[in-house]
Amino acid sequence: MSANDVLKLSPSEVYEFVTNALSIKQVPYIAGPPAIGKSQVIHQVAKDANALMIDLRLSQMLSEDMTGLPEKDTERGKAVYLPFDTFPLEGDTIPDGYSGWLLFLDELSSATEEVLAAAYSLILDRTVGGKRLHPKCLVVAAGNRASDSAIARELPDTLITRMLPAEMKISSKDWLYWAENQCKNVNAAVIDFIRKDPKMLYAPTKSKERAELETYATPRGWEKVFAQVNLHEKMTQTNKESVDSAGIPTGKKETSGQPISPMCFNMMAAAVGSMAARSFKEEYDENIQLPYPWEIAQQPVSARIPSDGVSKATLMTNCAEYFLKSEDQTRDNLLIYINRVGGEYSELFLSEIKNKLGDNPSDKRLLQETSERLNIDPLLGSALQQGGGSSGNGPFLYHRYHYT
């Protein structure tokens, strides 16, 4: 089989593939390079199936961990195997609050030959040490490819043919959806950076071209960067009192950030490589220099215009929020600046305003007047007025696996 014949699926497709395979009692095997999120997809499957996850790293196991230890059957006068309590067997009580178990055979391609041989009966016959798995125990396997820079081997045909193999590929769309909707420690600046340049999500270099400890950008690495940048912001952000266009304090505080510190950069470089870390730092440091809307209202003709698109888009959102809270003179000054930025960003500004206004006559009049000042059709026939959100179901949310 050539590389082109291998089934390659995005994370959301892997989720659907696994849940459907489990629904007909077949064992899916998900392969792929390290650090792309294979385990996270399987954990999501277990969560949605209300299954207690049993995560077995087969690279760290011995064959007896799979088959159990021999003991004497005094009644029969024979030796039998006594499986470890790792495996849910027929007759076991389902844990409180769960519908069953999901047995995740991770790092299958890194297991020893003895452990692989012991896995045959588990995967094909659902038996451990001659005893059957519980009928409410789902089985999923995963591992790295032999071609990756990992401790992995090509699986034998006798094992591959017992499973449903597929390879997971990178999808920036799926990852962004996961980060924004399911990650608990997300950072908006990292999200904006990957959305602007999706190729930075996963940028491996050939193992022969890397130094021994050299890292590169991976989804797992960017998840680490979330926490690193959050820590940086917690330690360095300060509040600055805002003023209106006349220079009068508004009584509100505006958050002010600081450039990425050398220590934060070092941690990012260790997580995603120096090239990706440097690119992110340059954009982040540029973004924190964005003028505040109230500063723009004071000096609309001379206020700085960011050089990159992500910064301009962020600023349009900030200006739209300030615009709707301001008086006429402040609004006039903001529109002078928005016209300076121009193009699609003026449309984005108007779109943000439209999304926050109602259908009453005064709101409609404000939208009409603003669109005339910006020379934009208030109906906004482009995609910008549609809200910019993702359509349809996001990854991992196609449907849930139900025990039968």
Q: Are 69 and 210 within one domain?
A: no
Q: Which residue has the higher pLDDT, 389 or 94?
A: 94
Q: Would you say residue 402 lies in a domain?
A: no
pLDDT-derived band at 400, boundaries 50, 70, 90: very low
> In this predicted structure, what is the pLDDT of residue 129?
82
Is the whole model's pTM more than 0.75, yes or no?
A: no
Q: Domain containing 217: what range?
A: 171-289
> In this predicted structure, what is the pLDDT of residue 4?
67
pLDDT-derived band at 243, boundaries 50, 70, 90: low
Packed helices 343-356 and 309-324: angle between N→C axes, nearest 10 degrees? 40
Across the chain, mean pLDDT equals 85
The CA distance from 74 to 116, in Å, is: 31
Q: Would you say residue 397 lies in a domain?
A: no
pLDDT tens digits along 95-135: 999 999 999 999 999 999 889 988 888 998 999 888 899 99
Closest CA to 225 of 287, 271, 262: 271
Backbone angles phi, psi at 56, to 5 degrees: -105, 120
Amino acid at 249: P
Q: What is the mean pLDDT of residues 310-320?
A: 86
Q: Which two tokens stand for residue 131?
A: 């005893």
pLDDT-derived band at 75, boundaries 50, 70, 90: confident
Mean pLDDT lowest among 142-156, 174-188, 219-233? 142-156
Packed helices 172-181 and 188-196: angle between N→C axes, nearest 10 degrees? 160
Q: Are 285 and 316 within one domain?
A: no
Which of 264, 289, 314 terminates a domain? The answer is 289
Q: What is the mean pLDDT of residues 67-96?
A: 82
Q: Would you say residue 63 lies in a domain?
A: yes
Packed helices 172-181 and 219-236: angle between N→C axes, nearest 10 degrees? 40
Q: Are 153 and 17 within one domain?
A: yes
3-state DSSP assignment of residue 101 = strand
Q: Are 58 and 153 within one domain?
A: yes
> In this predicted structure, what is the pLDDT of residue 241?
61
Q: Which two tokens stand for residue 372?
A: 């005339």
pLDDT tens digits along 191-237: 989 998 999 999 987 777 778 888 999 999 999 999 999 999 899 87
pLDDT-derived band at 386, boundaries 50, 70, 90: very low
Q: Are 10 and 130 within one domain?
A: yes
The CA distance from 16 to 248, in Å, is: 56
Closest CA to 64 of 112, 98, 29: 112
Q: Would you say residue 395 lies in a domain?
A: no
> In this predicted structure, what is the pLDDT of residue 198?
95
Mean pLDDT lowest among 158-172, 306-320, 353-367, 385-399? 385-399
The CA distance from 62 to 69, in Å, is: 11
Contact (Cβ atoms closer than 8 angstroms) between residue 108 and residue 28: no
> In this predicted structure, what is the pLDDT of residue 237?
74
Count of CB atoms within 10 A of residue 270's CB? 15
Q: What is the mean pLDDT of residues 158-183?
A: 93
pLDDT tens digits along 40-57: 999 999 999 999 999 999
Q: Which two tokens stand for residue 358?
A: 């109602």
Q: Would you say residue 398 lies in a domain?
A: no
> In this predicted structure, what is the pLDDT of residue 65?
85
> What's the angle, vertex CA 169, arms to CA 166 and CA 175, rounded to 5?
125
The CA distance from 294 to 330, in Å, is: 8
Q: By CB neighbour count within 10 A (0-12 exposed, 13-18 middle, 19+ buried), where does 24 fall? A: exposed
Q: Would you say residue 60 lies in a domain?
A: yes
3-state DSSP assignment of residue 321 = helix
Residue 238 is inside which H or E element, if any? strand 238-243
End-to-end CA distance of the chain: 35
> In this predicted structure, what is the pLDDT of residue 140?
97
pLDDT-derived band at 381, boundaries 50, 70, 90: very low
DSSP bridge pairs for 55: 104
Q: Are 34 and 150 within one domain?
A: yes
> In this predicted structure, what is the pLDDT of residue 391?
36
The tokens 């996850």 sit on which residue?
A: 53
Question: How many separate domains does the chain show?
Answer: 3
Q: Are 34 and 97 within one domain?
A: yes
Q: Which residue has the higher pLDDT, 295 or 4?
A: 295
Mean pLDDT lowest among 147-156, 226-235, 236-245, 385-394? 385-394
Provide CB contacts within 8 A for 206, sequence distance 6+: none
DSSP class of 289: T
Q: What is the mean pLDDT of residues 167-178?
A: 95
The CA distance from 45 to 137, in Å, is: 13
Q: Would you say residue 76 lies in a domain?
A: yes
Q: What is the mean pLDDT of residues 28-37?
A: 93
Q: Give the distance from CA 179 to its chain's centroid.
A: 4
Report CA dihedral (350, 355, 361, 367) to the nearest 10 degrees. Answer: 0
Q: CATH number of the domain that 10 lies in? A: 3.40.50.300
pLDDT > 90 in the chain, percent: 52
Report CA dihedral (367, 372, 376, 381) to the nearest 10 degrees. Answer: 50
Does residue 149 have a pLDDT over 70?
no
Contact (Cβ atoms closer than 8 angstroms) between residue 41 and residue 389: no
Amino acid at 68: G
Amino acid at 396: F
